Structure 1
């Protein structure tokens, strides 16, 4: 039987490793020696972003205060994918260059840094940024300042070419019609780069695409950005991009969710699906069904109509469960926030009242007709308020990195919208290691979307596995119309159906046993899904799961330890070779000259010495 590919490096410490770190620290913070309370942090001694391994030998138990004061000193450096995308563009400059990068990966920073480089080289003089919404104008302008550029968020005609600025930020509506389109056409006669954020919005209206084409005709370069793949719509062609024979957009550079998670750029997300029984009347006919049944489209819409009613038990039960999960996480991440995506404005107001009753705090409510919507989002972003309730307003582009728990309470079941919502929860902050969690109705369409996202993650990890194996060998969104004849009658409470994580579906029974184990071992309940998966894996391998009453003993079989170490060393070699700008096989040759044996023949002790050597070398590079 061929050797299984080594597992790529994990960013998160698993439950057994957390127990080991807690015991090794005698229940005290390794730094300040304070008693570790629930919510203590499992931290990398050598930062993960520097190549530090996720292993007990590179871990330490810290209190939240000490860990959050510890930086990795690379917050503003370019990520590897951003460097690769930049180098690809510079090697073959194109007028139109399309980049698809998963939400949270850093498309804004990449495009602004590229624009600054081209401006410093004299290739361009002006920068035009086109965004989907008014709120994103200021957000992009703020981000530009951090990269050394000054961009004016356009609110009037004088802002398009204002003196003292490197360019401006406009919406697609401003750029594609009227005075704005004419002004941009004139401005771009000077060498200009256009950065088009979420370019698929240019296809929402035919006039937008035509107007945008005219406005940016003379731009030297047009960088098209998207975090959500789309297919061609013959009625709304999108300018500046190409399509393949199947109608899917062709990108020049792609950075997908699976790779981003593997790299630690994005966090993993757990999908927790909740079922329930709905009963409704349609043209006088009484119908009932659970959400998980395979229903006709109209019946799915009717069932969701019913359970999403604020006066039915389903939503209050789901909101209470989500709030409990958020409370648990806030023991470790004090400012962690939650987002409820509502379907209607009256739903949003009612959900906010339910959350106020549950939490004792006033949630932030953002509605499309609220002139203060942007201000409310900005205030929420910088606060530690628990909950934000919105109707689509935070579905795309808005960067609130502290969002950690979500409730998908809308009837919209398109893959595009679902992925936009998921993208609100995958953004990372340094020194935070947790899975985000999205609560969804257990309707088949949404379950399929969740599985597709997880399958992409599995696919990308499989690619990483294969790459590592070869390296070793070389070295030796639509919505149904509202039916006025339909009347929601009643719904049961939301009941937990399953969790979806890493392609596995974890049952309520497994979660329940894992929660007991977590409580007994002082492990935050947010780790319960991962603990459940770990217990299942151990049982499949014939390893007895430690009972909650027993004192936890961490014993990793030697062969597993060796395989894990070999995989970590292989990854460190790849990182070191990349930083030195040499092929991986040449770096392996250097290791031989240092006296290290081939990894396939190395013992655990020798692998540990190689690992220590590589960590030191990476710190010097």
Structure 2
């Protein structure tokens, strides 16, 4: 099989480390670089060289777990459904808390290779500081697996807790990775697209209360006063219209060359997603696909969109890290989650290189200070690209498809119980570079637990519910592998 250079190098280093007696190997590779394929090839080599008996993979969401199962099957020509004759199983991290002793006994009877996708979700250097998933890994896998491969595209946690199975350098306290493949290298190797980040701002904002009217020249100035929450900005109808109209125009331009190119809108709640969907239908005559944790089968919705021709998909927590939809090239960041890990993972959804003619990747977002900080750090990762981050000032009419109403005055009315955001007098449009600034019976199964939950402002809290808001139980069935014949 034809591997990318970084994938071949990484596999060679991992095999060498395992050969020297090492059990764990940590890989940092930028989102979209091809970690799943690399891990599947490494698993195939370990199986074919009789170095392991079984492969178990854990991922943060069911769609990513399914992608891993398919990738492992394609590479090894073995089954990974946990049934009789299978070589393993691909599961979500949520399953860790529901596995019984029959499963963990596999690690005592067989040589098990464990793949951890997006390992940063699992925290803990010991039981005392571990989260629920990290605790299970420390107790049942760390010293019992034959080999482990930990993958991440964002090697940090918003709570600064240590990542499980990781070593840290002193005195910097930075994570020590066994192999690193950054965004700059991925762009130079034509593995990832060059990101373009458009920060939409407004230079004439008014906040009206009973006594006075305050004016602000940017979202940064507005938010610094703590009188208007960021949620009100991303829910404001005119802000939504402007951001999406700019993104719609760009997507139409890309689709002139790539007919299947698509856009992703990341919303903050189910209600927010419905609001955006309604506006897109009314203002742009666009029927966007909506996928949230409330759907009966969100995974099928994502899978269908992956191979469809439709333009837009609106997601509430369902399309982030590891979700592979290469035709995505435009993204609107309209969520209230403002951690760098989440920002990088969202950006990574539009960076996967394809064979299409146009390889642009553009993310639109409000010019919120934290998001700008993360955007500038992305720019630092690709210093040879001067125009990674740009400002765009809102103007009266962003696109002919938008109904011809005044998009210029933004007014926050504090006199009302619910303060509508209305945008006024923005000035001319300018685009300027910023130079700094997821019929064989199983012998046992996992307990089922389903929990619905609204998107919170903390991404770390979200991913510990179900990787995308629903606790999903998967029948494991790996105990069927406990006969010697099953692994021979």
2:165 aligned to which of 228, 240, 247: 240
Following superposition, the deviation at residue 373 of structure 1 comes to: 1.2
TM-score between the two structures when normalised by the length of structure 1: 0.59
- Corresponding residue of 1:289: 216
Following superposition, the deviation at residue 448 of structure 1 comes to: 2.0
User: Per the alignment, in what secondary structure is the counterpart of residue 142 of structure 1?
Assistant: helix
State yes or no: 1:416 paired with 2:336: no
Question: Which of structures 1 and 2 has the bigger CA Rg?
Answer: 1
- Does structure 1 conserve the Cα–Cα contact (< 8 Å) formed by 2:199 and 2:372? yes
CA 1:291–1:240 in structure 2 vs 1: closer, same or farther (change >3 Å)? same
User: Per the alignment, in what secondary structure is the counterpart of residue 333 of structure 2?
Assistant: strand
- Corresponding residue of 2:127: none
TM-score between the two structures when normalised by the length of structure 2: 0.74
User: Per the alignment, in what secondary structure is the counterpart of residue 129 of structure 1?
Assistant: strand
User: Per the alignment, in what secondary structure is the counterpart of residue 270 of structure 1?
Assistant: strand
Partners of 1:317 and 1:263 in 2: how far apart? 35
- Corresponding residue of 1:451: 376
Following superposition, the deviation at residue 288 of structure 1 comes to: 4.4
CA 1:124–1:444 in structure 2 vs 1: closer, same or farther (change >3 Å)? same
With 326-335 and 366-375 compared, the bigger mean Cα shift is at 366-375
Number of aligned residue pairs: give it: 396
CA 1:142–1:281 in structure 2 vs 1: closer, same or farther (change >3 Å)? farther
Following superposition, the deviation at residue 199 of structure 1 comes to: 0.3
State yes or no: 1:166 paired with 2:87: yes
Per residue, is there more helix in 1 or in 2? Answer: 1
- Corresponding residue of 1:370: 295
2:186 aligned to which of 255, 260, 273: 260
- Does structure 1 conserve the Cα–Cα contact (< 8 Å) formed by 2:158 and 2:339? no
User: Per the alignment, in what secondary structure is the counterpart of residue 152 of structure 1?
Assistant: coil
State yes or no: 1:88 paired with 2:16: no
User: Per the alignment, in what secondary structure is the counterpart of residue 440 of structure 1?
Assistant: strand
- Corresponding residue of 2:118: 198
Q: Which runs of 5+ in 1 are unaligned?
A: 1-75, 154-158, 462-482, 506-621
Following superposition, the deviation at residue 343 of structure 1 comes to: 1.2
State yes or no: 1:490 paired with 2:412: no
Q: Deviations over 1:5-53 (max 9, x none)?
A: xxxxxxxxxxxxxxxxxxxxxxxxxxxxxxxxxxxxxxxxxxxxxxxxx
With 441-450 and 180-189 compared, the bigger mean Cα shift is at 180-189
1:304 aligned to which of 208, 230, 235: 230
2:318 aligned to which of 370, 376, 393: 393
- Does structure 2 conserve the Cα–Cα contact (< 8 Å) formed by 1:279 and 1:306? no
User: Per the alignment, in what secondary structure is the counterpart of residue 122 of structure 2?
Assistant: helix
Following superposition, the deviation at residue 257 of structure 1 comes to: 0.3
- Does structure 2 conserve the Cα–Cα contact (< 8 Å) formed by 1:194 and 1:223? yes
State yes or no: 1:331 paired with 2:270: no
Q: Deviations over 1:299-346 (max 9, x none)?
A: 3x8253333225x31211221121111111101000000011111211
- Does structure 2 conserve the Cα–Cα contact (< 8 Å) formed by 1:268 and 1:435? yes
Q: Which runs of 5+ in 2 are unaligned?
A: 125-129, 387-413, 438-488
Mapping of 1:32-181 within 5 angstroms? 77-93=2-18, 94-152=22-80, 159=82, 162-175=83-96, 177-178=97-98, 180=99
Q: Deviations over 1:171-193 (max 9, x none)?
A: 11212x23x15343211220110
Mapping of 1:219-230 within 5 angstroms? 219-230=145-156
Partners of 2:230 and 2:115 in 1: how far apart? 39
User: Per the alignment, in what secondary structure is the counterpart of residue 110 of structure 1?
Assistant: helix
CA 1:237–1:442 in structure 2 vs 1: closer, same or farther (change >3 Å)? closer
